[in-house]
Chains A and B, each alone.
Chain A
């Protein structure tokens, strides 16, 4: 979507808020480009001064230089030549100012854009998962695509133009006041009329632009839905009705657009002609004043005044246009700042993960290099000592309660124990809380009550980065990134060699199909691996987890249908990945469930049954019901 064009109802704008936002936006620019900004302002002033000098010179040219020439019998062109050379010098300075302004602005604008983009991205990466849950992805994206762009226009166009227009107006008005006060007041009165009329037009226009935006949203929604479902539309022969519905919306949109555009199109001619009327009134009243002798005004000054009057109109209508775009840019800036002001994920953890060596007697020492053995480094502030604990993958939930929002708990009294190497399966209906449990282990969300311990350490004490490093995750939605297959596997461990990545792919059963891709491991993936099948994407995401080699795994098995053969590959890949690791698996497959050390049957945020497959079948409860499809006895 292009940045929204249109106007804003000036009456509804909170100017205090606006100036605060504007200050902050300018602050972002000034932070890195203070000197450049000063030079830019000097350039603007210089250029305005040069242009004005030029205008005055042209006016004096005829009277002061050319007319004397015609009167003398033997004309001396040298004063004229000197004057022209002087002007050429002033023009040249003006050109230099203009050029420097444009060059510096290129750096200031684009540099600020880069800094703002970098800043919001870096900040976005620190935000908690909750933020992404509660904000539409389209809205987040539009901060990058639309809102940052409105800021660019603000910096590169609106503000410089506002400055130069203001300078012109101030200079013109000052000259006017010096020439004649009553006529200045008349001119100001007409300017007042102009501002009033154009703000009225803008307000009307804003109403229709608002309507246009709303209709545009509706039409886009309709188009999106119908294009997405076009095949279904075909199958049900719904084309005619569809078109009918579209035409209705399209007509409404057209109407709103036409009105909105009409109002914005007529702003210019209206302003220009109010300017013309102002000119006529000035001439008539001025001439009357001069001729009737009511004023000390001379005809000569009146002529000069008339010229100034002509010049005053243009910057006014420019300013009114720029004010409008500043207000709109501020709306965009507000959204940018809102993202920047979101609170980052809090991390008070101090237990870190280190490479370790263990000697025969079980003493753990910290190692500089990767040893394959990991330990938790636990500093104790009170005693000033540091203890080490081997990373094993022992996870305990002790009476955990959790809710995404405080009013509604989704997990109640969750208790579970996973000893190293165990496989824990979660089964139950959608919304029972299976995924939520796994998201608590890696602290995507923080629990409300109870405790989660990892190797005996409360996970709140572990630094989030280190905690997550120790956990591998394979999600149902694979989320591959733009890059080669190799890049995507290496995502699990950035310093992995090609050999390590290939070994991981072999472990995950992905090697076979990757080799058959047109460019093997160097095949470039885009759009979440759109050129691969669902099963292949899963195999790569398993390889990605494998290369990270974490002691604890969180798996979310895919429900979507993969054909039996690929499914077998995925299954085997997951099985070999799970070997020897503590695994939490949200299970959909019989084999996974059957092989688990413990099955948790969840319903409505509670664990209602737990045990091995055989035990649960024996019990003939909910699990039995799910497994056999028969109703449970009790």
Chain B
């Protein structure tokens, strides 16, 4: 119910057409019921009695009805299209808009693929169901009611036949459908697994071929595919009863109607014309029953889609700007006061424990530690990408929760570890950092980020088109462009989260030197795997399992901190990188 409520809210400006559609459909149905009447009259009063005037009269009446029916039908179709596509557009908009308000932890909850499916396949399903509903929900019951009423008017006793047939049909259909959907749901899951294995084979074809596992994979696939075949056949065999049951109901009613009808006619309770009408009502009643069952199938199939959609629409962002936000960041001073942090608030395992760090404005800080030691989590708290569980994070002496979020994020620039470039020119991408940046500004930022050299080598220079996901530049080039993009913000704090891992050692060093000159007053935090990258920082944080293990200069740590010394030792005595230098 909650689901329906959420979705109905999205109808918005299409409320009028949503209501008009069923009205026109109803009018169309009325015409559809009237036309057979007129048809019968043409035959009975016109042709059979050889009256040309009557033929022309009823003929023109029917022509009028046909044009009306055409008009209503076309309008209903048009409005239904407008309502359903408008509704779908609104839902799409609502999802997209809500996702924009998501905090990082909201984003973590949904996978990219999951969000994309929701906005494409799921919405298409719901749109179809919506349109079906608008057009059939009125049509089927109206047809049924009209027909039933007419039947009862003609002969209450004969109508009993329909009730028996309807009950029989209703029960049989619901048993068939419920049994079949159960199997279908199971088989769809298996089907997904099968597709996943195809996916694995397509992307992992080199491994398959390297290990000569083509035949093995093929036989594995055959087995899975055969399994699905068996389940599908089982489900379809149940569905195979659908038509015969339907026919049994129709034919059974026809035959008993003929028999009982004949008796009534002989007794004089029924005319032959009325019997003919009854025949056509049988058909329309049972047809509308079939339609209703179809609606149920459609609805039950789209329920999963509806649930997935409402999940996103109803997801509440868990980080907001405060009511009277602080609108200025004084300087780049950062303080962590006994901070605890977990990705799942309350219950989850603490990723950061009792962090107490105080960084002066303008300092360059290195952060080092193993995977899972909490490096990224630590810096993500500074621009309030996540909220702390305990303690507080202050920037420029003010708690981050008191700042306007947009302001804070513009002053604290983060170059994320998993960074993305967007389709557009290099210049377009750089201007994410500063919308009205001039070419000159961009060039300067690229200079500092070590990107200007390779950009100059591109035939189109700064107008080079970047493909979606930045697939046409190398990893190192991408990282440097991402740094330049962040630099354009001229932030008070710059955070580089493992942002030069694909850049060779020499270039890495050059970038760090250039940064010092480009933004001298900015507090810089550099997360790295390589000791080389943090060695010359003012101070280095050594993180271990969510705790600060050491916070000092390179020299002091080397002397006093076991973990740091170990990392240093491992990397300088032959375990280090021999990176692909000279990418550009």
CA distance A102 to B236 in the complex (A): 8
Nearest-neighbor residue (CB-CB) of B135 within chain A:
A265
Nearest-neighbor residue (CB-CB) of A467 within chain B:
B212
Q: Which of A1, A80, A227 contacts B112 (CB 8 A)?
A: A227
CB-CB under 8 A for A567 and B575, given A234-B104, A559-B475: yes
Q: Does B326 contact A (CB under 8 A)?
A: no
What residues on B are CB-neighbors of A225 within 8 Å?
Answer: 422-423, 468-469
A114 contacts B578, C-beta separation under 8 Å: no
Within A240-270, the residues touching B (CB, 8 Å) are 240, 242-243, 246-247, 250-251, 253-254, 257-262, 265-266, 268-270
Q: Does B399 contact A (CB under 8 A)?
A: no
Min CB–CB distance B366 → chain A (angstroms)? 14
Q: Does A367 contact B (CB under 8 A)?
A: no
Min CB–CB distance A309 → chain B (angstroms)? 10
B197-219 interface code vs A (CB 8 A; 1 in, 0 out): 11111111111111111111110
CA distance A300 to B131 in the complex (A): 44
Nearest-neighbor residue (CB-CB) of A126 within chain B:
B214
CB-CB under 8 A for A246 and B370, given A129-B206, A144-B195, A567-B575: no
CA distance A494 to B248 in the complex (A): 55
What residues on B are CB-neighbors of A269 within 8 Å?
Answer: 28, 69-70, 72-74, 76-77
A110 contacts B232, C-beta separation under 8 Å: yes
What residues on A are CB-neighbors of B84 within 8 Å?
Answer: 261
What residues on B are CB-neighbors of A91 within 8 Å?
Answer: 247, 251, 255
Q: Which of B39, B66, B422, B577 contacts A310 (CB 8 A)?
A: B39
CA distance A262 to B73 in the complex (A): 11
A134-146 interface code vs B (CB 8 A; 1 in, 0 out): 0001001100110
Q: Does B349 contact A (CB under 8 A)?
A: no
B200 contacts A482, C-beta separation under 8 Å: yes
Contact segment of A18-26, A171-179, A382-390, A427-435: A427-435
A230-246 interface code vs B (CB 8 A; 1 in, 0 out): 11111111111011001
Nearest-neighbor residue (CB-CB) of B227 within chain A:
A114
Interface size range of chain A in the complex: 35 or more
B36-59 interface code vs A (CB 8 A; 1 in, 0 out): 000100110011101010011001
Within B219-256, the residues touching A (CB, 8 Å) are 221-222, 225-226, 228-229, 232-233, 236-237, 239-244, 247-248, 251, 254-255
What residues on B are CB-neighbors of A343 within 8 Å?
Answer: none
What residues on A are CB-neighbors of B42 within 8 Å?
Answer: 280, 283, 306
A261 contacts B131, C-beta separation under 8 Å: yes
Nearest-neighbor residue (CB-CB) of A310 within chain B:
B39
A283 contacts B78, C-beta separation under 8 Å: no
CB-CB under 8 A for A482 and B196, given A69-B262, A430-B580: yes
Nearest-neighbor residue (CB-CB) of A72 within chain B:
B266
What residues on B are CB-neighbors of A70 within 8 Å?
Answer: 265-266
Q: Which of A250, A257, A591 contacts B93 (CB 8 A)?
A: A250
What residues on B are CB-neighbors of A563 within 8 Å?
Answer: 369-373, 529
Nearest-neighbor residue (CB-CB) of B414 within chain A:
A235
Q: Which of B76, B116, B578 contacts A589 (CB 8 A)?
A: B578
Centre residue among A69, A137, A224 by max chain B CB count within 10 A: A224
A102 contacts B575, C-beta separation under 8 Å: no
Within A40-85, the residues touching B (CB, 8 Å) are 54, 58, 61-62, 65-67, 69-70, 75, 77, 80-81, 84
CA distance A561 to B69 in the complex (A): 69
Q: Does A562 contact B (CB under 8 A)?
A: yes
Q: Which of A65, A80, A111, A228 contacts B229 (CB 8 A)?
A: A111
What residues on A are CB-neighbors of B86 within 8 Å?
Answer: 254, 258
Q: Does B80 contact A (CB under 8 A)?
A: yes
A591-613 interface code vs B (CB 8 A; 1 in, 0 out): 11110000000000000000000
Contact segment of B146-154, B354-362, B445-453, B503-511: B503-511
CA distance A625 to B507 in the complex (A): 12
B66 contacts A276, C-beta separation under 8 Å: yes
Nearest-neighbor residue (CB-CB) of B407 within chain A:
A237
Min CB–CB distance B421 → chain A (angstroms)? 8
Contact segment of A93-101, A368-376, A576-584: A93-101
Q: Does B63 contact A (CB under 8 A)?
A: yes
B221 contacts A118, C-beta separation under 8 Å: yes
B418 contacts A231, C-beta separation under 8 Å: yes
A137 contacts B266, C-beta separation under 8 Å: no
Nearest-neighbor residue (CB-CB) of A593 within chain B:
B578
Q: Does B275 contact A (CB under 8 A)?
A: yes
What residues on A are CB-neighbors of B93 within 8 Å?
Answer: 246-247, 250
A273 contacts B575, C-beta separation under 8 Å: no
Interface size range of chain B in the complex: 35 or more
Within B95-142, the residues touching A (CB, 8 Å) are 96-97, 99-104, 107, 112, 115-116, 119-121, 124-125, 131, 135
Min CB–CB distance A46 → chain B (angstroms)? 13
Min CB–CB distance A235 → chain B (angstroms)? 5
A98 contacts B247, C-beta separation under 8 Å: yes
B203 contacts A84, C-beta separation under 8 Å: no
Nearest-neighbor residue (CB-CB) of B572 within chain A:
A590
What residues on A are CB-neighbors of B240 within 8 Å?
Answer: 99, 102-103, 105-106
Contact segment of A180-188, A394-402, A405-413, A469-477: A469-477
CA distance A87 to B216 in the complex (A): 57
Q: Does B583 contact A (CB under 8 A)?
A: yes
What residues on B are CB-neighbors of A109 within 8 Å?
Answer: 236
B409 contacts A98, C-beta separation under 8 Å: no
CA distance A168 to B205 in the complex (A): 51
Q: Which of B121, B405, B475 contacts A1 (CB 8 A)?
A: B121
B209 contacts A468, C-beta separation under 8 Å: yes
B210 contacts A303, C-beta separation under 8 Å: no
A592 contacts B210, C-beta separation under 8 Å: no
CA distance A67 to B383 in the complex (A): 91
What residues on B are CB-neighbors of A259 within 8 Å?
Answer: 81
CA distance A106 to B239 in the complex (A): 9
A270 contacts B265, C-beta separation under 8 Å: no
Contact segment of A285-293, A326-334, A446-454, A500-508: A285-293
A279 contacts B62, C-beta separation under 8 Å: yes
B120 contacts A1, C-beta separation under 8 Å: yes
Min CB–CB distance B373 → chain A (angstroms)? 8
B229 contacts A475, C-beta separation under 8 Å: no
CA distance A219 to B120 in the complex (A): 9
Q: Which of B55, B74, B218, B410 contacts A121 (CB 8 A)?
A: B218
Q: Does A2 contact B (CB under 8 A)?
A: yes
A405-445 interface code vs B (CB 8 A; 1 in, 0 out): 00000000000000000000001111100000000001010
Nearest-neighbor residue (CB-CB) of A140 within chain B:
B202
Q: Does B190 contact A (CB under 8 A)?
A: no
Q: Which of A66, A137, A444 contacts B199 (CB 8 A)?
A: A137
Q: Does B433 contact A (CB under 8 A)?
A: yes
A479 contacts B237, C-beta separation under 8 Å: no
CA distance A565 to B569 in the complex (A): 12
B505 contacts A2, C-beta separation under 8 Å: no
B421-435 interface code vs A (CB 8 A; 1 in, 0 out): 011000000001100
CB-CB under 8 A for A559 and B580, given A235-B414, A273-B73, A284-B55: yes
CA distance A265 to B67 in the complex (A): 17
What residues on A are CB-neighbors of B193 within 8 Å?
Answer: 482
What residues on A are CB-neighbors of B135 within 8 Å?
Answer: 265
What residues on A are CB-neighbors of B576 within 8 Å?
Answer: 589-591
A473 contacts B207, C-beta separation under 8 Å: yes
What residues on B are CB-neighbors of A219 within 8 Å?
Answer: 92
What residues on B are CB-neighbors of A66 within 8 Å?
Answer: 261-262, 265-266, 272, 275
Q: Does B571 contact A (CB under 8 A)?
A: yes
CA distance A481 to B216 in the complex (A): 13
B96 contacts A220, C-beta separation under 8 Å: no
CA distance A94 to B502 in the complex (A): 72
What residues on A are CB-neighbors of B505 within 8 Å?
Answer: 629
Nearest-neighbor residue (CB-CB) of A259 within chain B:
B81
A to B CB contacts below 8 Å, 19 in the list: A58-B279, A75-B266, A80-B258, A88-B255, A99-B244, A121-B221, A129-B206, A250-B89, A269-B69, A303-B43, A428-B580, A494-B216, A548-B211, A559-B579, A563-B372, A590-B574, A590-B575, A592-B578, A626-B504
